[in-house]
Structures are given as C-alpha cells and as structure tokens.
Amino acid sequence: MTDGAGGKTIDVAVFGAGRIGRIHAANLARQPGVRLKYVVDVNRDAAAALAAQHGAQVADIDGAIGDASVGATVICSSTDTHADLILKSAAQRKHVFCEKPVDLTLERARACADAVAKAGVVCMIGFQRRFDPTFAAVKARIDAGEIGTPEMLVVTSRDPGAPPVEYIKHSGGIFKDMLIHDFDIFRWILDDEADTLHATGSCLSDPAIADAGDIDSTAVTIRTKRGRLCQINTARRAAYGYDQRFEVLGSDGMLQAGNVRPTEVVAYSKTAVSSDVPEAFFLERYRAAYALEIAHFFAAVTQGKPVRTTVADGLKALELAEAATRSWRAGRAVKLDGAA
Amino acid sequence: MTDGAGGKTIDVAVFGAGRIGRIHAANLARQPGVRLKYVVDVNRDAAAALAAQHGAQVADIDGAIGDASVGATVICSSTDTHADLILKSAAQRKHVFCEKPVDLTLERARACADAVAKAGVVCMIGFQRRFDPTFAAVKARIDAGEIGTPEMLVVTSRDPGAPPVEYIKHSGGIFKDMLIHDFDIFRWILDDEADTLHATGSCLSDPAIADAGDIDSTAVTIRTKRGRLCQINTARRAAYGYDQRFEVLGSDGMLQAGNVRPTEVVAYSKTAVSSDVPEAFFLERYRAAYALEIAHFFAAVTQGKPVRTTVADGLKALELAEAATRSWRAGRAVKLDGAA
Amino acid sequence: MTDGAGGKTIDVAVFGAGRIGRIHAANLARQPGVRLKYVVDVNRDAAAALAAQHGAQVADIDGAIGDASVGATVICSSTDTHADLILKSAAQRKHVFCEKPVDLTLERARACADAVAKAGVVCMIGFQRRFDPTFAAVKARIDAGEIGTPEMLVVTSRDPGAPPVEYIKHSGGIFKDMLIHDFDIFRWILDDEADTLHATGSCLSDPAIADAGDIDSTAVTIRTKRGRLCQINTARRAAYGYDQRFEVLGSDGMLQAGNVRPTEVVAYSKTAVSSDVPEAFFLERYRAAYALEIAHFFAAVTQGKPVRTTVADGLKALELAEAATRSWRAGRAVKLDGAA
Amino acid sequence: MTDGAGGKTIDVAVFGAGRIGRIHAANLARQPGVRLKYVVDVNRDAAAALAAQHGAQVADIDGAIGDASVGATVICSSTDTHADLILKSAAQRKHVFCEKPVDLTLERARACADAVAKAGVVCMIGFQRRFDPTFAAVKARIDAGEIGTPEMLVVTSRDPGAPPVEYIKHSGGIFKDMLIHDFDIFRWILDDEADTLHATGSCLSDPAIADAGDIDSTAVTIRTKRGRLCQINTARRAAYGYDQRFEVLGSDGMLQAGNVRPTEVVAYSKTAVSSDVPEAFFLERYRAAYALEIAHFFAAVTQGKPVRTTVADGLKALELAEAATRSWRAGRAVKLDGAA
C-alpha cells in the first residue's frame, strides 16, 4: 500500500487494547503514511471494539506478526508478554515500539536488546516523559547551556492512588513498576550514569501493599560517575492528584518542570487564592507526549533515524530499578558498574 | 450516506481555505458522522490543497450549496461574503456555522437572522472563546454560584501585533474587528445587556492606522441594565504576545481566567524567575476551543439542540461594536436600547 | 536638642491618635534625629496613650504648633481638620506631612498650597502607595525604559468591605475618599495628565450607600494629553480582601504590580492548589510604605530636598476626583483643563 | 531597673558585634522591658559602634557576665566561643540565647545542656527558621491536621555562594555548618526522630573546598522511627540566590513553603514572564524570623514559659550532622540511636 505522497504506507499491528493501547492506536491512526491493520488482545471484545473504531482487523499474535505486509508492531500488552512479542517481531524483522519495561528481568531484557540489534530493526521503548513538551523544553534548554553544568536533579513523582494489590503483586515492585520512568528521566536529564545508588522506602498508605512485599513511598539518591547528585521522591498516593515535577540545579541557574493544569482559572475566596489541581493521571498529563512519541517512532522508522528512547535506555533504567530494589532490601547504598 | 452507527452522515461544504478554514476542516473531519465534501475558495489552489488533505472535492459556491446531500455549510471566507453565504445556505435549508462577524452592517446581519429563523436552520456564530476550557470553566463556576452575584468584569484583550493596514482599512474598525469577541464575552459572562457604553481610544503603535481612520488601543466601559460594570482594554500590539484574560468580581469572591503557556518550565537565573510568554496568537491559544465549538455545532445539528452562540448573539455583539464606534467618534457615552 | 551625630533633632507634633496616627508616630519615633514631642487628639485618652508609648506629651493644637521648638507637624486627624492644621503649621513655618486628601474642596486645598509655598515649608501629602516597594519598583523599571513608552494603565483597587454609612456620608464620596489614591497612581505611573475622564458606577453591596448619595463600585477611564489610556476599577467590597494591583502596557512589554501575601505557603488539597489571600487591609498591605514615606519626609526636611508627593500632587488628584464625580453625576465624559 | 508597666526590665549582654549580632541587638532593643546593657567583641571598634547605636556600654566577657544586674546573654560570637559563654552564663544564672550550633562537638554541647539544666535557666538556640512566618504557618497547618499524617518531607536549602575557604576550614564541615538548620527543620516538621540516615555529596563549585576536606553539594535521606521519609538537597552555590523551600506530603494533601521575593512585580517581555529572584541571603530572608525569635525568647524568659528551640534541639541537630558526616565519609547509611 502507498500513501498519497507516493511513499509506502506502514501497516501496524497493535498488541493490547487497554487504556494505553487505545491511545497509541488513535495516535498512530492519525499519522500520515501509517495504517492500523491489526489489533491483538486476549480480550477479543476489546480487540474488536478498537479494531472497529479504526477500520482494522482482529488477529492473533502469529497472524499479525506473520503478515509480511506489517512493518511495525506496537506492544501495549501486559509486561510479561513484552519480551516474547519483541523477540517475535525482531525475528520477522518488524520495527518495534514497546511500552516500558522491556521485561522484569535483566536477562530477558538483554536478550531482546540482542535480538533487535541482530535483526537491525528499530526498537523504541515508551518512555513518553521525554516527549512531554515541558520536560523536553527543560532538556533542550539545559543542552543549550542555559544553566551551565547541571549538578543536582530533584525528581518528584507521585501517583494519585495505588493500583489494586493484585496488580502490585505482579508489578515487579515499585522500583521497576513506577520509578523506572524516573530512572530514565535521571539519565536523560543529567546525561550521566549512576555510580552509587541508595534507596529506602516505607509502606504508609495501605498495609496490604506491605503484605505483598512492596512499599508505596520511596526516597532514592544517586551519585553519578561525574559526581552529580539526584534525589527522587515517589509515592503511590498523592491526595491532590498526579504530581510530576523535576528541577535541575546547574552552575549558572535552575530549571523547573512543573505540573500541567486543566485550566488557567484562579479563584479568590474569603480564605484562599486557588488554581486547579494537576491533570488527573498519566493519560491526561502525558496526552501530548503520547502523540509526540508515536509520531517520533514512525518518523524514525520512515527516515531511518535513531529513536530517542532505545532498548538500551530500557536496559539501563531496569538496571537502576534492580539496584534500587537491592539497596532498599539490604538497607545500604549499592555500587553500579558495567556488570551491574 | 450513513455513519457506522446507522445514523445519517452530514456532508459539509467549507467556504474559505485560509488559516481558520483549514482548522475547521481538520476539526470537522474528525467528528464521527461528519464528512467534508466540498471546499470552496476563490483561490482554487488553496481549495484544492485543503480538499486533497481530507478527501474532499473543490466546488464553486452554487455547486456546493446546490448539492442536496450537503447538510451544513461552514463559512470561513472573508467577512464581506458572510451574509451572502448565510442567505444562500438558509435558502437551501443548510445549517450554518459562520465565523464572526455576521456582517459589518447591522441591516444585513439582521436580514441573515431573519432568513435562518424563517428557514428553521441552525446558525452558529464562531465566538470560539466561549468554548475555551479556561473561559468556559469560569462561566460554569459563576453559574454554580461560586462568587455570588457577578458585579464587575475586567477584560484584557491584546494582539501580538497589528495586521497590515490594508486589512485594517476593510476591517470595519477595531471595535467590529477585534472587540466584537470581547463584547460577546461581556454579554455571556455577566449574563446581562448593556445600558450605557463609553469608548475611547488612541493610535499609539503605528500612525498609518490613524491615517486609515482607525485606532489601535481602546478603553471601553459598559454599565448594564442591572447596574453591573464592565471594562475592556484592548491593544493591537502587546510585545509579549497574545494576551487574553478576564476577571469577574462577584459579591462572594473573584474568578480570573488567565493566559495559557506552551510549557510549565520555570527558569531561575541571576536576575529573574521566568516562565513562558503566553501562547503566540489565536490559532494556538484557542486550539482546543476551535475543536470544541465545531463538535458543539454538529452535536447541536444532529440532536436538534440549541447552539451556545446564536446569530442573535452575533447581532448583539455587532450592536455593541457600532455603539462603541459611535461613542469613540463622538467623545461621549451612548445609550443602548432595543432600537440600538 | 541635638542628635548623636551632632545634627539638630527635629521635634514633631502628631495630630490624630487613631490607626494611622499610631503608625506614623511609631515610624517617626524610629527615625534617627526625630523626636515625637506632642500628640494632639480631641480624644484625650487616645492622645495620652499614644504619647505615653513614645515618651511624648499631650497638647492642644495651639500649644503644639505654638511651640517654637517643633519643626514639623504630622497631620492624621479627620479630613475636615487638614486644611486648618496645614494653614496653622505654615503660619508658624513648620514643615507638614498631611494625610490625603488636603481638603474636600479644591478652593481650600489651593489655599493650603499657596500658604505652604509662601511659607517656604515642605508639605508632603500621604500618598503612601508611591512608597510601596512593589509599586515603586514598577515605576523605577518604567523610568529605566524596560517597557518602552507606557501606553495603557489598568488599576484594580478594592477594599475588603465598605466603611460605616455614617463615615461615607462625610467622606466626600467614593471618588474623593477612595479613588484619590488611584488618581495619584495614574499621574505618577503614566507621568502624564488627564485630558478627558469618564466615570460611571453603581451601588451594588448595600442600598444604604445609595441612600447616602454614593456608590460602591466605579469604572473610570482617563485619556491623557498624550493619548495614553487608563482604566480604574474600584469596589468597596472584595470578599477575598484588599486588592491593590495595577499593570502597565508599554510599547515593549508589560509590568504588573501584584498583591502581597502574608506567607508563601501553597497548599494542595483534593480540589485545589491554594495560596494566601492578599494582606487584609491598608495597614498590613502598606506597612513598609508607611515606614518608607515617613523616612522620606524627614530626609527631605533635613536635607532640603523635594518630596515625592507634594501638595500640588494632592491638588491634581483632587481635581480628578471632582471631575470623576461630575462625570458620574452627569453621565458623560468630562474635559480636564487648567481651570479644571 | 523597671519598665513603664511596673515589670522588671531585663538587662542584656550581647556577645559578638558582627552581622547577626547587630540584628539581634536591634531587635532586642525594640522589646519593651528589655535593655541592651553590654556589647562584647574582640573587635573593640565593632563593639563600640554597636554599643553607641543603642546607648549600651562595651565590656569584656567577665565584666558583662559578672554584672549581677544582667539577666540574659545573647551569644552571636564565633562558634568556638559558644560553649564557654553558655557555661559561664549558666554559672551566673543568666538566661541564654545562643546562635547555632551549640558547639562543633557533641561532648561539649552536652556539657552545655547539663549546665543550663542544672542552673535552671532558659537556653534557646537560634534556629530562626522555626519563626519564619511561612515555615511556621506550614507547621501550624500540619498540626491542625490539614494534610492528615505527614509522610514525606523534601527540603531544598541552597546558599547564593560559598563562604571563603578559610571559613569552611573551621566550620566543622557542611553538615554541621549548613545542614544543621535543615536537620532541625526535619525534626520540627515531621515531629519524629531519625532511625537511619544516608548522606552523600560532591564538591562541584570550587576545588579548594575539596582540598579543605569538605563538599559543597549534598543529598541526605532520613527514614524516621515511624517510617516517614525526608530528603534534603543542599548546595553552597545557587546562581539565582538564596533558596529556602520545603514541602510536606501528607496522607490528605501537601503543603509547600516557598521563597520570599523582595517585590510582587511581574514583567512580560518578548521572551519571558518574570518575577523577582528570592531574597538575597539569610539576613533578608529571615528578617522577620530574627525579630520574632528574639521576641519569643524574652517572652519566655519573662513569663517562665518553654522556648520553641531548646538546647536539646541543638543537640539533636548536631547528632544528625555528625551522623551525616559519618555516612558521607563511609559511603554507607548509618543508624541513629539513643547513644548516637
């Protein structure tokens, strides 16, 4: 199939018809030269509904990946399926966009990295925060030298509420499930790698989370190879909503990336001057980021350019999440190294 | 033609393939059950380009309005064509979405109002600000009683720069061209009508505007029939960009509608703590509003519901613009009445 | 009496031991080289209490002004006593600091101006807003050229609640009692004089104010001799407190002077992100300004320098207040001229 | 000596006529019932100048403390003199206000605590931040339950620039010299004690600081006995000035304590919307706090009430500073216990 401009249209198979799958499907359907051909989900009704919405077909995994006309797969299914789908996609030389994390184990994640390298396909990991207009503007302004040398990063990352305990049990723990995004932000913003990492935490919102062997509040400190410092504070529950901020102190100034509000209304009452709470959760907060990352992926595929968030970035973030888990469990700082 | 849900698809003809025409075309193409069938523009190339983008056809006025399958027209052509296109649309019983103003003369605008009333078609005027999420939230919160009785409205409305003098010469003057939006905001927010109006102004940015018989800076005060007060300050040029704010003092508090920023970055330098200037101009500032007003129009047409911005609203805003022009020229306050 | 540095200490008589008198007394007592010698008030208890607090004596008018050792009078008594006290002070060649307004009639105010000119004494009028750090910073930045030529001024001036109707009856009306400060701000910030003025208003908070022949909400527009525009909106009642802001649009940018908050706390709840309401009323909002204006007065007296807010400024503000009253009553714009 | 109200006036000796000594002297001179009698400083000129300003006398240590009429000492001399002056004051049963830290060694600090306990005198440590209106408002609102249970504290504490290296060499290191305030904030705000502490840091601004065995940037994490988390980030140099903020996440919301600005001016230019950088340094930022803490001290002394910042608080903060120093040097988290 060809697009209007005479270029080749890329047919795409989307795996997973849940919340994030629906967002990626809608965004990719809007890309010129991209066609949603298949939707795959163990929940056939969900797959059928999403496929119908975009004039696509329902397929099973092999049917979708086996179709020679499919140029790319977009993997939004549950975490435990990511590695298999990446490996199968690579085997069939499909380009891959995969939600984070690559896998919950470093071993399998590395196998994925090897496979896509060998196949010579693009493999982009869905660290959408790098595409958030506010976060990306901070990065660009740092790179332009506005604050001199970046020296200290403080990341605040809080969810509006904890997911069901059943989810938490299979999540790989808060460091792999939630902070993996913050670890990626850390590497991207400071443009440096961790030398030592210290993590601690508590379960403060719901004892069931502790019973599941996890925590809901964390405090992580990373010292980089170049001596830069990073502190990350995370909570599963912020009563006021989804809180996604960071600030970077540099030798010549500071840049802050703030929350986004639904409206710019300010209300003056007898007791307070008030504005909106932040956007409710990631689907709202990162709406623009999701659209931009999908556009970036297909532009990279089409133009043969590198992607901003590679499978190597996925591996590095996973290494940090593993190190944080070890540090928290052992109650001591840990050293990161090549072998990690 | 029918849509997927078994409903009738509405075929639409868009008049005008300029900036705002392209925005409306893209937004309406995204509505389920709506199809862009024709693009009409004296500039055939522009029409062809826009038509191609959405799989539509180029037509001339009579071809488009004469097609019995067309259910609605969207009028984004130059102001002097609005009245004719409304009248022709009404004659063919097409629903009409028309950019402001209806016309530069009250007489012809009233003829349009009569025609659409007689034809029994929907006629919505493009006062998109009522659909801006921030502005609409203020209105909803006033209506919910948050600030008690609204008593005073202050509107700040400044463009980033003056249009070419050639445009100004045919614009009907600053009150009809620019403040018409503010007059609509005034009526909508205070839910009241003007009793007296005083307008003054100056030409401060470019003498060529004065030579064209116009001004670039205005200060308008309206006292309503219920004694409420409204002040509007307007400038053709704000060095920092497009400034669109208002605030409403009520008996129990105040609500402010602020500008929208491209990002939420805050920068700390040796000399200042800085955030972004407002969105550059109306296409950026009201991007969401344009999408929401088109969705509102087609929902109203489909469901037979009233529109938020009627041709009567267009007439009222025009009456205020004429009164302001008279007041400014005469150097005295003027009285509004039924005869206006 | 001499101060520690060998300079002459100035003995001062304060007239009026009310709220503002107590503030000025405390501030002047802190000036090096200044001694509070007399407190005069028809309420002898109030006078005695204030005198005791600062080691001063109670006196009557003639006793205080008649004392040759007294170098300056500070007049904070009721408005109807201002002119007499200025004239008596001038007659005895005392320097004068007098609260606004000079008088409620232009005629007597002019007599005061003539008297102090003839006597060659300093006469400073208490337009304390010019000494507010925020307002003064805006003025300094305009003067430094930061926003190019100032073109438009919007002043918001709202009290937290109306004074007793009994006060209003003798206040000279809202334009002389309340807006006189805003008229002074206008002249100071735009560095220009009014050419035409339009005022309108309503009584919205309490019918008793209307019964007293006054209004509680005003909207004033001034066009200056150089064509600059100024809008002032005023209300006797703002539910959220004392609201004192202005903004100046210039050819190259804009400067806003905002409210001051008691603390910099920001609270995030389930429904809002909130900060403090503005400082409660003028005693809190202008605490720094009151201290700075008294220091300025005594520095001017000591060093023989001109004061920032002269009796001529007081006259000009009064002329504008009279013009506004006329405009409001007549329902038409009025022309200001030398004869006013 | 008696004050005007018949109460006993407290005569005070101030030790140290430097920056902070001058501030305390001016503040205490303004307290009713308090008289500055002696100023003591090894720099006799500085002592003489400060004494002259307040009508006090210059004395040496024994002369001042030996005077039976002296009721309280205010110790603002160099850190190495604190313990001696506290011990001498206690021996003569003088109440003591002492700048932080009590001493650079826990041993001597504990001796001071014992001495004041035995003498039964008030000993207040100058943790002035607890008296900052913004910080104190956050504390009061937490105590009132506004955010439920406090769970996480993030403290940002940055100086505008590093002191001379000569000072740093005798400062006891960044944790005792700079973070001691933050450790006190931590205990006060979370109302909890440290269980474990991890500190890391770097020297990023000036190699001479590293040569002196110190660092200029730190990242500290504390986990409390109740499982609450605290992160402190500190830098000796913030290009934009003195940065003093914290935020507290609770089970029901969040409270932020922000910086204070000199003015409330907002400037709109072609490129940015800007406000003032924070107050320049501690003398400006904590001006109100210094006045309030001295008033608190003398009120406590006069009324026999407990002080908000006791010598025990000084000891606890010092213990945390020592733990942080150990943690940083050892590169591992440390456990706090009763023995510390």
**Are A113 and A196 in the same domain?**
no
Say if residue C181 is in the same domain as residue C275. Answer: yes
Whether residue C86 lies inside any domain: the answer is yes
C68-92 residue pLDDT tens: 999 999 999 999 999 999 999 999 9
pLDDT band at C32 (very low <50, low <70, confident <90, very high): confident
CB-based contact, A288 to chain B, within 8 Å: no
* D37 and D136 together in one domain: no
Q: What is the structure's pLDDT at A8?
A: 78
Put simply, the answer to whether B268 touches A256 (Cβ < 8 Å) is yes
Q: How far is B288 from chain D (nearest CA, A)?
A: 23
Instruction: Provide the phi-psi class of C268: left if phi over 0, else alpha when psi is between -120 and 50, else beta.
Output: beta
Q: Kindly report the backbone phi and psi dihedral angles of residue C140, in degrees, each rounded to the nearest multiple of 5, phi listed first.
A: -65, -40
Which residues constitute the domain of residue B73?
10-121
Q: Give the number of other Cβ atoms within 10 Å of residue C332's Cβ.
A: 16
Whether residue B153 is found in the same domain as residue B71? no
Give the span between the Cα atoms of A86 and C5, in whole angstroms.
Answer: 85
Mean pLDDT of chain C: 95
Residue C331: its chain B contacts at CB < 8 A? Answer: 196, 333
- Of D79, D135, D331, the closest CA to residue D248 belongs to D135
User: Residue C44 falls within a domain, yes or no?
Assistant: yes
Output phi, psi for C310, to 5 deg: -90, 175
C75 and C200 assigned to the same domain: no
Give whole-number Cα distances, B200 to A266, C153, C156, D330, in Å. Answer: 29, 14, 19, 74
What are residue A171's phi and psi, to 5 degrees? -85, -10
Burial of residue B337 (CB within 10 Å: 0-12, 13-18, 19+) is exposed
Residues C210 and C329 in one domain: yes
Percent of chain A with pLDDT over 90: 95
Q: C151 and C116 share a domain?
A: no
pLDDT given for residue A30 in this prediction: 86
- Residue C237 pLDDT more than 60? yes
Tell me the three state secondary structure of residue C249.
strand
Q: Name the residue among C4, C137, C267 with its Cβ closest to that of D263.
A: C137
- What is the tens place of the pLDDT at every residue in C87-111? 999 999 999 999 999 999 999 999 9
| Partners of residue B203 in chain C, C-beta under 8 Å | 227
The residue length of chain B stands at 340
- Owner of token pair 């714009």: C333
Measured torsion, CA atoms of residues C71, C73, C74, C77, in degrees rounded to the nearest 10 = 160
Whether B72 maps to a domain, the answer reads yes
Partners of residue A266 in chain B, C-beta under 8 Å = 255-256, 258
Residue A10 host element (H or E): strand A10-15
Q: Per residue in D204-220, pLDDT tens?
A: 999 999 999 999 999 99
**Same domain, yes or no: B185 and B55:** no
Sheet architecture: strand order including A95-98: A57-58, A34-40, A10-15, A70-75, A95-98, A123-125
D266 Cβ under 8 Å from any chain C Cβ:
yes
CB B198 within 8 A of CB C333: yes
* Domain-embedded: residue A241: yes
pLDDT at D5 > cutoff 70:
no
Name the residue among A48, A183, A28, A177 with its Cα closest to residue A97: A28
Is the minimum CB–CB distance between A266 and chain C shorter than 8 Å?
A: no
Residue C163 CA: distances (Å) to CA of B57, C184, C213 = 69, 22, 15
Using CA atoms, how far apart are residues A129 and D234, in angstroms rounded to an integer? 26
Chain-centroid distance of CA D231 in Å reads 19
Q: Is D133 on the interface with C (CB under 8 A)?
A: yes
Distance from CA of D279 to the nearest CA of A (A): 15
Q: Are A98 and A124 in contact (CB under 8 A)?
A: yes
Whether the CB of A271 is below 8 Å from some CB of chain C: the reply is yes
Domain boundary among B69, B102, B121: B121
Q: Is the pLDDT assigned to residue A4 strictly greater than 80?
A: no
With the CA atoms of D291, D264, C179 and C240 taken in that order, what torsion angle do they form, in degrees rounded to the nearest 10?
-80
Displacement of CA C65 from its chain's centroid (Å): 23
Please report residues of B whose CB lies closer than 8 A to that of A3.
none
CA gyration radius for chain C? 20
Nearest CA in chain C to B237: C251
CA distances C275 to A275, C112, C278, D257, Å, are: 9, 45, 9, 10
Do the Cβ atoms of C274 and A274 come within 8 Å?
Answer: yes
CATH of the domain at B73: 3.40.50.720
**Please, which pLDDT band fits residue A3 given cuts at 50, 70 and 90?**
very low
Let me know if residue B116 belongs to a domain: yes
A residues 236-255 lying closer than 8 A (beta carbon) to D: 237-240, 243, 249-254
Mutate to test the interface with B, among D259, D264, D268 (most CBs of B within 10 A): D268
Helix H, strand E, coil C: the string for chain D is CECCCCCECEEEEEECCCHHHHHHHHHHHCCCCEEEEEEECCCHHHHHHHHHHCCCEECCHHHHHHCCCEEEEEECCCHHHHHHHHHHHHHCCCEEEECCCCCCCHHHHHHHHHHHHHHCCCEEECCHHHHCHHHHHHHHHHHCCCCCCEEEEEEEEECCCCCCHHHHHCCCCHHHHCHHHHHHHHHHHHCCCEEEEEEEEECCCCHHHHHCCCCCEEEEEEEECCCCEEEEEEECCCCCCCEEEEEEEECCEEEEECCCCCCCEEEECCCCEEECCCCCCHHHHCHHHHHHHHHHHHHHHHHCCCCCCEHHHHHHHHHHHHHHHHHHHHCCCEECCCCC
Under an 8 A CB cutoff, do C233 and B331 touch? Answer: no
By C-alpha distance, which of A47, A41, A79 is closest to A61? A41
Same domain as D100, residue D219: no
State the total domains in chain C. Answer: 2
Query: Cβ of C210 under 8 Å from any chain B Cβ?
Result: no
User: B330: which 2 tokens?
Assistant: 């005469």
Is residue A232 assigned to a domain?
Answer: yes
Residue C326 sits at the chain B interface (C-beta within 8 Å):
no
- The torsion region of residue B55 among left (phi > 0), alpha (psi -120 to 50) and beta comes to left
For the cut 60, the answer to whether the pLDDT of residue C126 exceeds it is yes
Q: Hey, what are A206's tokens?
A: 């719901």
Shared domain check, D71 and D154: no
- Determine the length of chain A: 340
Nearest to D134 among C141, C259, C265 (CB): C265
The nearest CA of chain D is from the CA of C14 a distance in Å of 21
User: Which of A158, A237, A259, A268 should one mutate to test binding to chain C, selecting the residue with the greatest count of C CBs within 10 A?
Assistant: A268
User: For A228-251, b where at least 16 C-beta lie within 10 A, e where not — what string?
Assistant: bbbbbbbbbbbbbbbbbbbbbbbe
Chain A residues inside the 8 Å CB shell of C270: 239-240, 277
| Domain termination site, one of B60, B92, B121 | B121
For residue A254, what pLDDT is reported?
98
Binned at pLDDT 50, 70 and 90, residue C210 comes out as: very high
What is the Cα–Cα distance from B103 to B105, expressed in whole angstroms? Answer: 5
Give how far Cα C221 sits from Cα of B2, B151, B230, C175, C230, Å: 57, 18, 11, 13, 6
Strand partners, A199: A220
Q: Note whether B193 and B323 are same-domain residues.
A: yes
B71 touches chain C (CB under 8 A): no
Residues with Cβ < 8 Å from C202, sequence gap 6 or more?
B151, B223, B227, B228, B229, C215, C216, C217
Q: What is the pLDDT averaged over residues C254-263?
A: 98
Residue D27: both structure tokens together: 């503040």
One domain, residues C194 and C324: yes
Q: Which residues pair with B267 in a beta bridge?
A: A255, B274
Give the residue from C323, C154, C324, C316 showing the smallest Cα distance to C229.
C154
Amino acid present at C54 = H
Residues in C touching D134 (Cβ below 8 Å): 263-265
Domain-terminating residue out of B73, B98, B121: B121
Task: Report if residue C296 sits inside a domain.
Answer: no
Using pLDDT thresholds of 50, 70 and 90, give the confidence band for residue D271: very high
Asked if D203 has any chain A CB less than 8 Å from its own CB, the reply is: yes
Q: How confident is the model at residue D337 (pLDDT cuts 50, 70, 90)?
A: confident
Arithmetic mean of pLDDT, A178-198: 98
pLDDT at C2 over 50: no
Q: With beta carbons less than 8 A apart as the criterion, state whether D300 and D307 touch.
A: yes
Alpha helices by DSSP H, B59-178: 61-66, 79-91, 106-119, 133-143, 165-169, 174-177
Please check whether residue C78 lies inside any domain of the structure.
yes
Query: What are the per-10-residue average pLDDT scores of chain B (340 residues)?
Result: 58 97 94 95 97 95 97 96 98 97 95 97 98 98 98 98 96 97 98 98 97 98 98 98 98 98 98 97 96 97 95 97 98 79
- Taking an 8 Å cut-off on Cβ atoms, the answer to whether D277 and B272 are in contact is yes
- D57-58 sheet: strands from edge to edge: D57-58, D34-40, D10-15, D70-75, D95-98, D123-125
* Chains A–D, number of C-beta pairs less than 8 Å apart: 124
Nearest to D249 among A198, A218, A235 (CB): A235
Read off φ and ψ for residue A16, nearest 5 degrees: 100, 120
Q: Which of C201, C229, C251 sits opposite B202 (nearest CB)?
A: C229
This complex has an ipTM of 0.95
